[in-house]
Amino acid sequence: MKHSETVDSFDRFFLHQGESGLKAYEEAVQMTKDILMSEIEEHPSPYSGKRPDELEKSIEKMRLSSPSGEDIETVLTDIKEQIMRHTIRVSHPKSIAHLHCPPLIASIAAEMIISAFNQSMDSWDQSPSATYVEKEMIHWLCRQFNYPSQADGAFTSGGTQSNYTGLLLARDYFCQTRLNWDVKKKGLPPEARRMKILCSESAHFSVRKSASQLGLGEDSVIPVKIDNHFRMSMKDLDHKLDEIKKKGNLPIAIAATCGTTDFGSIDPMPLIAEAAKKHNLWLHVDAAYGGALVLSGRHRYKLNGIQEADSIAVDFHKLFYQPISCGALLLKESKHFQLMKLHADYLNPEEDVIDGMINLVEKSVQTTRRFDALKLLMALRIVGTENFARMIDYTIHLANDTVKEIERHEAFEIINKKPELNALVFRYTPGLGDTDKENQINRKIQQSLLIQGFAAIAKTSVFGKTCLKLTLLNPRTTLSDIREILREISLLGHQMTSKKEA
């Protein structure tokens, strides 16, 4: 094979200015778009209803590769029937299970640009314009959170990575300022076994997971009791801090939550900020879910005090309606990024840094990193911040109306009556006086709704009781969708209860 022949035959696989590249790209995009749209039109329900074992079997049989390559239409048709057909339809108004949002069209379009240009955010020479876009988006976000001008941040893969990075900085800050110990160089200090992180009982499990990965161990996380509204109890926070100190242990950080995953509850930020200051603790705020309230004129007051946090985690693939993945970690003091700065000679050689060149690799636990800032930018411009505010306000309003609907049903018990965001937890309670049986009924209701393809709702466990959960992120969900779902739950619950008694 001649060298020139080889190159020509690869041309149609890549996007380039030559005719073959452009044409192949156009065809692929057109075909993908057509097939995707036809699937969405023909099969609109939240889920196909295919059972897990059947689905596993059919996908095991799917062809995964081909020696000489297949025609795109054949492959896409296969993918349509085997894969697209059995996806959870996140944009369906009755798809209200998790913090799993319908993505904005503006951002889906942005994904095309992100993948076509494939910039990597680690170094300027792999992402020249993208580097400054991310920098500007981060500063825009910092201003939304009322952070000072020296604040900074970086995009992340989501809340888990943001929480991990925030707590890593908290750990290393404590070691450096209080123990004069450089964790980056020397690893954990002998005092590590005594270091403690406080968060509420309702905090996200990634706080514990981070502590475990950071070498502090899960037991270093001290759960603080919650009040009647599922917020961190200030009384218990004081109590736990006293206890930690009495035992000779070392509190290093408080991880507060703005928008708990189950209830959307918001910890009392100003009081927690005061406690963190008094005890000289790093304050990390997990605002993965609730951070979006910065866009709402009506609800943003609920985040008051968040600007005192040393670090903030925010997710855009939740209430900012971005395709997965998209999140950020914001830092009140840019200089704290120094705590995790390590040099890779090939990425940030100091000798050839030219005017204004920055390498974002220093601000992330990742190296190669997606240009996710672009999709947020495109959405904020095309949709407009006022529409974001209206959508968020609508869903919170819907959650409050849903509470009233739930209360209208005798066999329902609502767990969080006063939602600050748009997540609701409730339970079907036919009054059997048998918690195990009732748990089982609630589990079955959730499964049935999904397998029927009627609705995707979630379940969770609260104080040992299985509950149902609605996460009302979708601004296209209406009260009549909710009424239909509640009616169906009631019907299923009734059937299951009478079968049990028979």
Ligand X SMILES: *Cc1c(COP(=O)(O)O)cnc(C)c1O
Verify binding: residue 164, ligand X, rule CB under 6 A.
Answer: no
- Measured distance CA(434)–CA(448) in Å, rounded: 21
Verify binding: residue 160, ligand X, rule CB under 6 A.
Answer: yes
Closest to ligand X by CB, 200 vs 402, is: 200
Verify binding: residue 466, ligand X, rule CB under 6 A.
Answer: no
Return the residue of 92, 94, 171, 204 that touches ligand X, per CB under 6 A. Answer: 204
Nearest 5°: phi and psi at 229? -105, 20
Dihedral angle of Cα 369, 374, 376, 380, to the nearest 10 degrees:
170
Question: How near is the Cβ of 278 to ligand X at its closest, in Å?
Answer: 25
DSSP conformation class of 286: E
DSSP conformation class of 104: P
Question: Given CA atoms 123, 126, 127, 129 in this order, what sign does their dihedral have?
Answer: positive
Q: Which of residues 237-276 bind ligand X (CB under 6 A)?
A: 257, 259-261
Q: Which of residues 325-354 bind ligand X (CB under 6 A)?
A: 327
Verify binding: residue 159, ligand X, rule CB under 6 A.
Answer: yes
Stretch that binds ligand X, among 63-71, 104-112, 282-290, 465-473 (CB under 6 A): 282-290
Q: Is 450 helix (H, G, I), strand (E, B) or coil?
A: helix
Structure tokens at 422: 């748009």
Verify binding: residue 429, ligand X, rule CB under 6 A.
Answer: no
Nearest to 84 by CA among 25, 42, 24: 42
Question: How near is the Cβ of 285 to ligand X at its closest, in Å?
Answer: 10
Stretch that binds ligand X, among 156-164, 181-189, 223-231, 234-242 (CB under 6 A): 156-164
Nearest 5°: phi and psi at 8? -60, -40
Verify binding: residue 130, ligand X, rule CB under 6 A.
Answer: no
Q: In what order do the strands lie in the sheet with 423-428?
A: 412-414, 423-428, 465-471, 458-462
Interface pattern 7-26 for ligand X (x via CB under 6 A): --------------------
Closest to ligand X by CB, 31 vs 462, is: 462
Verify binding: residue 421, ligand X, rule CB under 6 A.
Answer: no
Say if CB 28 and CB 59 are below 8 A apart: no
Closest to ligand X by CB, 286 vs 420, is: 286
Question: How near is the Cβ of 260 to ligand X at its closest, in Å?
Answer: 6
- Measured distance CA(257)–CA(288) in Å, rounded: 8
Stretch that binds ligand X, among 71-79, 114-122, 281-289, 479-487 (CB under 6 A): 281-289
Rg over CA atoms, the chain: 25
Residues in contact with ligand X by the rule CB under 6 A: 99, 158-160, 163, 204, 206, 257, 259-261, 286, 288-289, 315, 327
